[in-house]
């Protein structure tokens, strides 16, 4: 009679009622609740720290999403400052002595990556303690034109001094490259937030860090172009100073590098190697 309780699954016959629940003699011999525990042991799988009740991996948590959005907001500030700096022509201001032309008006100039402007100022509006003409923010007649070395290859001449075409073009190319990397990094962050996966954080961090480095390199090359520009002719004494566009770009580079580093740190919070370092008692259980 006991053979009826030991049926294989291949027989295709149903088990007697109560056999799996431990109510019969065999169930009592093998321990109460044996069938339930056996089914639970085969049905339940160990779930990792990032797994849901169904065993599927969970995406971003609310805390992680908030940190990513905060870091992205800071990075967007850097992107806006970069666009503002690259789009304006107040990278450097050039000003001869205010009495170089006449005692009533003087001529100042300023330029950026794409165009340069000359401005006629009234000497009476200039600070008496200032020896050079300027600043260019004073009211006066302005004349701006885009540089021709992007189209016809001609260098610009300002105060009898000639710009260095190769250095200016290199500065512009690095600036455009940084903008492209910012765009790619922003796309990666958008994918992270939409797909709720941390996989895209590392490419985003690389893009933003490289864009910040390119921004700083463009500032270095531009400064060298200004030095070469001033050394091209010494017939007109000029006072030069870097203006607020350079300050915007410099701050943007620091913010972009900081934002890219923060994205890298956030991508390492769920390091797969941490699963190998779980406590021994957790593995044994």
Model confidence pLDDT, tens digit, residues 73-95: 999 999 999 999 999 999 999 99
**With bands split at pLDDT 50, 70 and 90, how would you rate the model's confidence at 270?**
low
Task: Give yes or no for residue 284 having a pLDDT over 80.
Answer: no
Every domain of the chain with CATH number 1.20.140.150 lies at 62-270
What is the Rg, in whole angstroms, of the alpha carbon atoms belonging to the chain? 35
DSSP string of 103-159, one letter each residue: SSEEEEEEE-SSEEEEEEEEGGGS-TT--B---TTSSEEEEEEE-GGGTT-PPPEET
* pLDDT (average), residues 196-221: 93
Looking at residue 19, its pLDDT comes to 47
Contact between residue 59 and residue 191 where contact means Cβ atoms under 8 Å apart = no
Share of the chain above pLDDT 90, in %: 44
* Burial class (CB within 10 angstroms; exposed 0-12, middle 13-18, buried 19+) of 142: middle
Contact between residue 204 and residue 264 where contact means Cβ atoms under 8 Å apart = no
18 or 129: which leads in pLDDT: 129
Task: Give yes or no for residue 37 having a pLDDT over 80.
Answer: no
Topology of 62-270 in CATH?
Butyryl-CoA Dehydrogenase, subunit A; domain 3 (1.20.140)
pTM summary value: 0.72
């Amino acid at each position: 009679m006991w053979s009826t309780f030991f049926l294989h699954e291949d027989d295709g016959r149903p088990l007697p009622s109560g056999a799996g629940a431990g109510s019969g003699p065999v169930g009592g011999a093998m321990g109460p609740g044996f069938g339930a525990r056996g089914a639970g042991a085969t049905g339940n799988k160990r779930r990792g720290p990032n797994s849901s009740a169904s065993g599927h991996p969970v995406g971003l948590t609310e805390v992680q999403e908030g940190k990513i959005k905060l870091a992205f907001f800071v990075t967007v500030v850097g992107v806006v400052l970069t666009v503002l700096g690259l789009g304006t022509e107040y990278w450097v201001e050039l000003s001869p002595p205010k009495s170089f032309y006449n005692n009533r008006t003087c001529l100042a100039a300023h330029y950026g990556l794409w165009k340069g402007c000359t401005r006629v100022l009234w000497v009476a509006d200039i600070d008496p303690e200032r020896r050079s003409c300027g600043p260019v923010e004073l009211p006066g007649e302005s004349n701006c034109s885009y540089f021709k070395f992007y189209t016809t290859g001609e260098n610009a001449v300002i105060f009898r001094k000639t710009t260095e075409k190769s250095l200016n073009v290199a500065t512009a190319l690095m600036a455009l490259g940084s903008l492209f990397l910012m765009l790619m990094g922003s796309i990666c962050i958008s994918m992270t937030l939409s797909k709720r996966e941390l996989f895209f954080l590392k490419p985003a961090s690389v893009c933003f860090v490289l864009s910040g480095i390119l921004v700083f390199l463009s500032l270095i090359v531009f400064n060298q172009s200004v030095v070469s520009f001033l050394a091209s002719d010494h017939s007109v004494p000029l006072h030069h100073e870097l203006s607020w566009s350079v300050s915007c770009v410099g701050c943007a580079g620091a913010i972009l590098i900081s934002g890219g580093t923060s994205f890298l740190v956030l991508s390492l919070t769920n390091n797969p190697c941490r699963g190998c370092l779980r406590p021994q008692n957790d593995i044994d259980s």
